Amino acid sequence: MLDGDRERARAAVDEAYDASLARRMGAKLGLAEPADEALLTALYRLLQRNRCDCTNFFRSLSRLPARAAEHAAGDADAPLLDLCIDRAECVAWVQDWRGRLAGEVRPDQERQATMTRSNPKQVLRNWVAESAICAARQGQFGELHRVQRCLARPFDEQPEFEHFAAPPPDWADGIEVNCSS
């Protein structure tokens, strides 16, 4: 393959990847159109600076109405805002997100259902896996079976497995993933 062909092939792959990512992120954000770079860059910055749990952030976002509540009582935004250290930064991003939703014609219920199908409630968290592994090493496989049942339906609300979506316990603070093995 010639260098020019290689560069054109790489550019085509990059373009296809970027388009796919924008479409997928648009679905995660409840947008009918692909997500734009500015909205995504601001979101990634928000998530990183606030050390947000991305799974819980996207799932909470999927519950928000397209329009802000008229009054603070019963604020639907509170569960999402509570995930961020800097609530004002989160409020600003949510306002931008709602600005994007303002141009869409889908009813909230339809958009929220699409987002719920795109944003899992449960993912395999390191501390959950470690708990199941430790128990299995001792010949106790109940925790492993509970994790398997939970992850078989990651997009469903499963109140019996709500604790798997919780922040990690203190003992899990030092768990690190190593990809060398």
What sign results for the dihedral spanned by CA atoms 56, 59, 63, 67?
positive
**Residues near 47 by beta carbon (within 8 Å), at least 6 away in sequence:** 54, 57
Residue type, 61: L
Q: Calculate the average pLDDT of the chain.
A: 91
What pTM was estimated for this model as a whole? 0.86
Q: State pLDDT tens for residues 24-74.
A: 999 999 998 888 899 999 999 999 999 999 999 999 999 999 988 654 545
Residue 181, pLDDT > 60, answer no
Q: State pLDDT tens for residues 107-138.
A: 999 999 999 999 999 999 999 999 999 999 99
Mean pLDDT of 5-20: 90
Neighbours of 2 (CB within 10 A): 7
Distance CA 107, CA 111 (A): 6
Query: What pLDDT, on a 0 to 100 scale, did the predictor assign at position 73?
Result: 46
Mean pLDDT of 66-88: 82
Residue 1, pLDDT > 70, answer no
